[in-house]
Amino acid sequence: MVEESKDRESTVGLPPGTMRYIGPHKTFRPRAELVHYSEGKATVLDATDVCPPLPAGGVIWMRVRGLHDEGLVKRVGEAFSLSPMLLEDVLNTGQRSKIEEHEDCLFIVLKSLSYEPGPTGKGEVREEQVSLVLGDNYVLSFSEGEKGLFEPILQRLVKGRSKAHQLEADYLFLMLVDTAIDHTFLALTRLGDEIEDMEEQLIEESLRADLAGIYRLRRAVLAMSRSLWPLREVVSILRKPDPTFIREENLVFVRDIYDQGMQAVETLEAFRQALTDMIEITMSSVTMRTNEVMKVLTTVATIFIPLTFITGLYGMNFRHMPELGWRYGYYAALALMALVAGGMILYFKRKDWF
């Protein structure tokens, strides 16, 4: 976060369209691959150092992994005549999810989420920005991380097992959007499992509930919310019929993506409410336990009030107190105190005060 803040400070005063990477420090080498496919055939060319000539016909998918090489992103952008303003958004990993319609392309920024063990062994939310560009016969994907988020799609294309071979670039574009949302659902599933485990612990050991763990899960939900709430706007705009970029026959896939996006947001809201309820139950349990302890202490103190009176009465040492000279006075005083204490205990028991 500190590094990203410094990156933002370095862009202050620069003209719009200045391409500068803003995001966490990365050490791996960014890669670019040009995938060209048509019916029944797909080829993959390395485009990391030099962008090869764009083939004619079929569908082109330029896949970029790693955004910290500004020169690589610039070369890819120039090969497809992308505007500097668009590339500036690609390089800024702090973007919120959004969708923009340009004159010759459709641009989407998404946040693909994962929930994995962190350095402490506890689950942490990890966010990866994915930028997608849809043109006439091409799709560009810019992924922040090194891992191949879209590797399964590439493998299906290479093996000729994808429906995309028979369809246009907009179908591939929708496949990539769907895959990014699917990864987010996997993160939601893992987070949901951990929340369920916490609920079971709360039911079994309400007085020993891990309040710090509940707050950690709540922070994870809030982190996901910041990324997923803007997704509602993106999928809502995407589902509107627009033959310029998404053909009518593919709108059914757009509606499916919309349903998934809405489900993800609703699931996250359910998690937030569940964690809020757990916090309230935990605090109520602690309060009830404190009240029970105070009730017992008050009862004990009440029992000792008459006993204290008796001992104080016979501790005044007046000269004319017949009981003080009685041979069995001491034992009689103890018996009296025992009877008073026993009577009070029986009375409290009948009243169900403890």
Mean pLDDT of 136-152: 88
How far apart CA 231 and CA 265 sit, in angstroms, is 8
Residue 67 CA to residue 26 CA, distance in Å, equals 9
State pLDDT tens for residues 155-164. 888 887 666 6
* Composition of the chain by helix, strand, coil, percent to 5: 55, 15, 30
Q: How many CA atoms lie within 13 A of 277 on its CB side?
A: 12
Q: CA 52 to CA 114: how far, in whole Å?
A: 33
Q: For residue range 83-131, list pLDDT tens digits in order.
A: 999 999 999 998 888 999 888 899 999 998 988 887 777 888 888 999 9
Q: Angle, to 10 degrees, between the axis of helix 70-79 and the axis of helix 84-91?
A: 140
**pLDDT surpasses 50 at 5:** no
Least confident of 57-71, 212-226, 315-329: 315-329
- The DSSP secondary-structure symbol of 247 reads -
CB atoms closer than 10 angstroms to residue 139: 26
Write down all domains in the chain, each with its CATH number in brackets: 2-285 (3.30.460.20), 290-350 (1.20.58.340)
Question: Would you say residue 321 has pLDDT above 70?
Answer: yes
| pLDDT score for 316 | 78
What are the φ/ψ torsions at residue 194 (nearest 5 degrees)?
A: -70, -35
pLDDT of residue 188: 92
User: What is the tens place of the pLDDT at every residue in 34-43?
Assistant: 998 887 788 8
Closest of 89, 69, 86 to residue 77, by C-alpha: 86
pLDDT-based confidence at residue 293 (cuts at 50, 70, 90):
confident
- pTM of this prediction exceeds 0.85: no
Indicate the average pLDDT of the chain. Answer: 84
Tell me what pLDDT residue 242 has: 65
pLDDT higher than threshold 70 for residue 2: no
| CA–CA gap between residue 190 and residue 195 (Å, rounded) | 9
Q: Which of 199, 230, 267 is nearest to 129 (CA)?
A: 230
